[in-house]
Structure 1
Amino acid sequence: MRESQNIEWKETWRDEYLKWVCGFANAQGGVLEIGKNDRGGVVGVKNIFRLLEDIPNKAQSLLGIVVDVNLKSEDGGEYLEIAVDPYPNPISYKGEFHYRSGSTKQVLRGAALSRFLLQKYGRTWDDVPLPGVGIGDLDSRIFDEFRQRGADSERLPRDILDESDEGVIERLQLREADFLKRAAVMLFHPAPDRFVMEAYVKIGYFRGSELLYQDIVEGDLFTQVNRTMDLLYTKYTRALISYDGVYRVETFPVPREAMREAVINAIIHRDYASPTTIQIRVYDDRISIWNAVQLPPEWDAGQLTGEFSSKPYNPRIAYAFFRAGMIEAWGRGIRRIVDICKEAGNPPPKWELEPGGDGLWLRFPFSSAYQVTDSPVGSASTPKAIPKTNQMPTQETTQERILALIEAEPELTQRMLAERVGLTPDGVKYHLTKLRAAGAIRHVGSTKAGRWEVVKKTTQETTQETTQETTQERILALIEAEPELTQRMLAERVGLTPDGVKYHLTKLRAAGAIRHVGSTKAGRWEVLK
């Protein structure tokens, strides 16, 4: 027999062992046995009858709890059994909150203590009032979008469109007395990171351990979902375009719906008491998402793909996302991710709980077919076609799709373009601005009644100026146009770190695509034809 979650052995009694009693009371209860060695063998207890009286009194005076102290005998020896029940309210010993976890005792501090106290009082992090912010500090635009989503999804009645912002807050139960709850700020404030540390999403592109470039996605939680999806599918990954007969098929490394479920899951279930942001790491062969989460004690990462009832870590936030039509209420989000990947022919995603249980990794491995076809410029691998009959893989970017749409239908508005391309209006606005700056398009007439014009250029110019080429293609275009550019100037133009640019220049040199002539400061680049 060994020590466990509910059993602890001590050879002698010391008053400091009330910490272990406190830990049992704050967790699932347990038994502290005095007079046993580390192997569980009975060694006897001195002053056993005095301790039978002293221990219950000290537990009551120092911890405020009642414990049962029993005299036991085993193998001819005597020992004391201190039986501790789990308590519904938090128990402290000299101002510290102890907690039994496995066969060890912990002193709870910081985020762990906040979680513990909220749980004991039947509250969740997002349900707590937040002083210092009022309804006037929230963004009416976010309320408008929420109302529209709720009505369109039929999760809210149509009359929600005429309801005031105050009415929405009351409907979602986001107020307590005169204070808004934390969930209200996270959902409807334009800058929740002013009130909650690290309340944003961080995305980075990595080659091995080197970070090449990154973005920070801020704003209300709805915006964080949409903006994160925009960046992942316009900047960080590329679609392989193939044709099945006359029909065009887009293949992203991770199915869009599976990724959307994963991003929403991370935002809803994040432990916002932990000062660590959601991290999305994009590699050449996978996308990894890390999130600060707290799984129920009886769960492990392997159980996440099974069937279970919905138990959101932030139920107020989850309820708003449900009413907006963005999630289901049945706890099927993770199962859907697995099913969507399987249906698309992708490798199954994997969940892994960090040691200590304070974070969860979700990894989406890319299919081998995608990795081969998406080989970067200068790669030693030879691109091959995706093995499917009558398919001719090409790579088409978001800006190329926008150009094709407005050339076919010049009267399309930004909102209509957003629906066609699958971006938010802000995402389309970003790309239109880029295309205008490159001289690829212009808008003639008023905003509502005008039309788009695609400025005709040679194929080479259009490719260089209006599409989002691979990083190495952009670098090639820049140094061909301005051979005197330094690495630092290239980094600013491409949006990478100097080390990131150095990496790509080294690859291009190794591939025989470029060379540098002259000194580091006064020399120039040459693109080798």
Structure 2
Amino acid sequence: MTETRLRDLITQGEGTQVEFKAASIGLNKDAFDSICGFLNRSGGYLILGVNDDKMITGVQESQVQNILDNIITSANNPERLNPPYYLSPEVVEIKGKKLIVVYVPESSQVHTTRGKIFDRNQDGDFNITKNSDLVAQLYLSKQNSYSENQVFPFVQISDFKPSLFDKVRNLARSQQPTHPWLEMDNEELLRSAGLFKRDMKTGKEGYTLAAVLLFGTDICIQSVLPHYKTDAILRIANLDRYDDRDDVRTNIIESYERLMAFIAKHLPEKFTIINGQRVNVRDHLFREIIGNLLVHREYTNPFPAKLIIEKNQVRTENWNKPHGSGAIDPANFSPYPKNPIIAKFFKEIGWVDELGSGVRNTCRLLKLYTPGAVPTFTEGDVFKIVIPVEDGTIEDASIISSEEGSEEGSEETVEETVEETVEETVEEIIRLLKNKPNLTVKKLSEHIGLTRRGIEYHIAKLRKSGRLKRIGPNKGGYWQVVDEQ
């Protein structure tokens, strides 16, 4: 959050969607009453380091990390917040004082803290646990607001694809080796993920629309949503129709994989070094785009979602329940969950990050994939994303950036794709050779994650600049790092 945006919220004062806590030396005991109220009502901002009179008192610097850890740990502890919810607090400094801002989106579920249900109004948080009418209204409002919660009493476990459960467990294991889903049977997993609910209008229980979309067989999905499909289109030469197309009508787990495969088929790879690891920028960028397309779509509307690759851009369109209108400013926007259960499920298997990160990650990654390009996000009944890309597709791409590419193009690839992270790569080579002067190019390649030709390119540059010398023969010799004066 920008300092300007935070100042505006403080000036606005407390209300249904803003709460101040002094929290100078620790997290207030009632902070999770507000977090619970925001989740249950319409979302909001918990701002720590401001008192009730809008005075910025700040959080003691020595306590900032403890408070951040406390918020994140408590939000994932079902004894403190149930069901748990991922929160991502951030620190903003104003006039030398540190404030902690916790954006809490509206949830599609009813949450409790310490066994109590809190709701929110202009006067703050209030405990409605013993008011059965207000509790029932809260459950009904959640079900009406989020179509993913719609219950289908006649959908059975046999209507789900068995192979998807093993796939999901493997993906969850890659994120967390001791993930609780690994010890659950299929039905327990579905319930744990919030995919089995009770309809508060009729009292009937059943699997939800989210369960059908995530695990349903194609027949089951088409029975529930006959209009459901996602169109993947390549339109470069044949502008009237298309050059290639994938009509996707399967569950959204396999839809994600098919859409990613369509991108891989038609757009060139580019690599960079991030934290010492070689990263495929294309895959990371479009992971965000496709995740957004599937996670935030309003599935009850017959408008088909679209992924369209054109000559110099990639567009996505999906029906949406808008919470604003027009272009989104990535530097100043409040993320709003459209399908929180599906979003949380995708986060568990590592396909999306926390709420709101998609816009930020897209802007950051696009700079690496198409230098100088700026994505556009447009909110409306149809949510649109436009990603500028360099002219041409994988068939006529001039750079060869995969390990299997020709030796001739490898040096050019490294030069182009690590342009913004050359210094990081160079310093990693220097560090490794200082510690182990006899490391081979092959070993350096394995440590850093670049091709051998990429390592050779950087070593040649280091030798030319005088920072690196070869002592002895290629076989049996060693590298000497020349410290800069």
Q: The TM-score by the shorter chain falls in which range?
A: 0.3 to 0.5
Larger CA Rg, structure 1 vs 2: 1
User: What's the TM-score, normalizing by structure 2?
Assistant: 0.46
User: What's the TM-score, normalizing by structure 1?
Assistant: 0.43
